[in-house]
A and B are shown apart, each in its own frame.
Chain A
C-alpha cells in the first residue's frame, strides 16, 4: 500500500514533468504543476481502493487538479492553461484511444467500441472536473462588450 502510494506519486510526477517539458511549459511553473498532477493522480489511484467507481474518482481527481492549478496560477501570476494542462496529464487516458483503434484494426469491432466508449466517458469526466474547478476557482472574467459605447 505505502509502496504503491509512493510509486504512483513519483511516477505521475516524473511523467508530468517530462510531458510538460515536451510542451515547453516555463521552468518556474513546471515543477509546481507536476506536483499538482501527482496529487491528482494519487487521488485517482486511491479512490477506487476506497470502493469508489473509476469515473467518479477521475472526476474528483480532475477537479482537485484543476482547482489547485487555478490557485497556483493566480499565486504565480501565470496563465492557468499551463497548470491545468500539465496537472491533468497523468490522468488523461490517451492509451485508451490507441487501444480502441488497435482493436478495430484487429477486426475486434465490439472490443474496440467498448474501449472507445469507456475512454470517452473518462475524458468527459476530466473535462467536467476541470470545468468545475475553473468555474469555482478561476479568475472571474468581465463579460465581453459587443460594441464599446464611447
Chain B
C-alpha cells in the first residue's frame, strides 16, 4: 500500500484550520478542494470542533478513512490564512506533492516564536481602545490597560504554565475588578465602570457568541451549540471573579 501522505496532508490542513479558530465550513471546504486537486474521488469530510473525519477512494478503488481528534487552542488567524494560501496554490498547480506536506507543517508552526511582550502589549491596546469607547479618560486607559496586560501572564506567574484558560478568566477578572476599584477608592480618579469593562474586554466571550450564532445559521449545529455553551460558561467564570472582587470591596462599583 502506498504511504498515506495524502491523507496526512488533508488531515493536517483541516486540523490547522479548526485548531486555530477557522470556521467549520472552511475546514470542510478546504479539505474537499485539496482532495479534488490531488485526484481523489468520493471525498467525504465531517468536521466538528473536536474532531475531523475524512474518507476518500484512491486510484486502486480502495476506501480510506482517517479519524482525527482535535483540541481547539486559541485563535491564530495567520495560520488559517496560510493554509488557505497553500490550498489555493495547490489547486492552481503551483505546488508539488512533496512541497505540500512541508508547507503545511510550516503553516502549523507559523508565528511560534512570538515575542513574550506581544500579548501583554496587544491586550493593553485592546483595553485602551475599548475603555475610551466606553467613555473612559486617560487614567482609565492606564489602569485598565495595565490590568489587562497582566492578565494573560497570570497562568505563567501562578502555576508556571503557558496557558490555563479557567485560571486566567477567574483570577484575571478578579484582578481586573479589584485593582480599578482600589485605585478609584484611594485616588478618586477615573471611572471604575469604564476601567473594569475595558480591562475585561479581551476576556469576555462576545465574539465567541457571535461566531456561535453564525455557525448555527450556516447549519453547523454542533459547532454553534458547543461554542455558545462555552461562551456562556466563560461569561459566568468572568462574572464569578468580578463578583468576588466587588464583594471584597463591599458592594457595587
Chain A residues engaging chain B, CB cutoff 8 angstroms: 7-8, 10-19, 21-26, 29, 41, 77-79, 81-82, 85, 88-90, 92-98, 100-102, 104-106, 120, 123-124, 126-127, 130-131, 141, 144, 147-148, 150
Interface check B36, CB cutoff 8 A: yes
Say which residue of B26, B74, B126 sits within 8 Å of A19 (CB atoms): B126
Residues of chain B from 215 to 247 with CB closer than 8 A to chain A in the complex: 217, 231-232, 235-236, 238-240, 242-243
CA distance A53 to B54 in the complex (A): 46
Task: Across the interface, name the chain A residue whose C-beta is closest to B22.
Answer: A81
Interface check B42, CB cutoff 8 A: yes
Residues of chain B from 195 to 222 with CB closer than 8 A to chain A in the complex: 197, 200-202, 204-207, 209-211, 213-214, 217
Chain B residues engaging chain A, CB cutoff 8 angstroms: 21-23, 26, 29, 32, 36, 41-43, 74-81, 84-85, 88, 111, 114, 118-119, 121-134, 197, 200-202, 204-207, 209-211, 213-214, 217, 231-232, 235-236, 238-240, 242-243
Contacts A24-B79, A101-B238 known; A11 to B200 CB distance under 8 Å?
no
A148 to B201, Cβ gap below 8 A? no
Say which residue of B88, B125, B206 sits within 8 Å of A17 (CB atoms): B125
Chain B residues with Cβ under 8 A from A141's Cβ? Answer: 29
Counted as pairs of residues, one from A and one from B, with CB atoms less than 8 Å apart, the total is 169
Task: Across the interface, name the chain B residue whose C-beta is closest to A127.
Answer: B213
Contacts A19-B202, A105-B243, A131-B214 known; A123 to B79 CB distance under 8 Å?
no
Contacts A15-B126, A22-B119 known; A89 to B238 CB distance under 8 Å?
no
Chain A residues with Cβ under 8 A from B210's Cβ? Answer: 88, 92, 123, 126-127, 130
Chain B residues with Cβ under 8 A from A21's Cβ? Answer: 118, 121-122, 125
B239 to A101, Cβ gap below 8 A? yes
CB distance from A45 to the nearest CB of B (A): 9
B81 to A97, Cβ gap below 8 A? no
CA distance A10 to B204 in the complex (A): 22
A18 to B133, Cβ gap below 8 A? no
Say which residue of B22, B124, B232 sits within 8 Å of A97 (CB atoms): B232
A89 to B236, Cβ gap below 8 A? no
Chain A residues with Cβ under 8 A from B240's Cβ? Answer: 101, 105
Say which residue of B26, B41, B80, B123 sits within 8 Å of A22 (CB atoms): B123
B204 to A98, Cβ gap below 8 A? yes
A22 to B202, Cβ gap below 8 A? yes
Task: Across the interface, name the chain A residue whose C-beta is closest to B84.
Answer: A79
A123 to B206, Cβ gap below 8 A? yes
Given A14-B128, A101-B238, A104-B239, 19 additional A-B pairs, CB 8 A: A15-B125, A15-B126, A15-B129, A15-B133, A18-B126, A18-B128, A18-B129, A19-B126, A19-B129, A24-B111, A25-B77, A79-B22, A81-B81, A85-B207, A88-B210, A89-B207, A92-B206, A105-B239, A147-B42
B75 to A23, Cβ gap below 8 A? yes
Contacts A79-B26, A81-B23 known; A100 to B133 CB distance under 8 Å?
no
Say which residue of A93, A130, A147 sits within 8 Å of B206 (CB atoms): A93
B209 to A97, Cβ gap below 8 A? yes
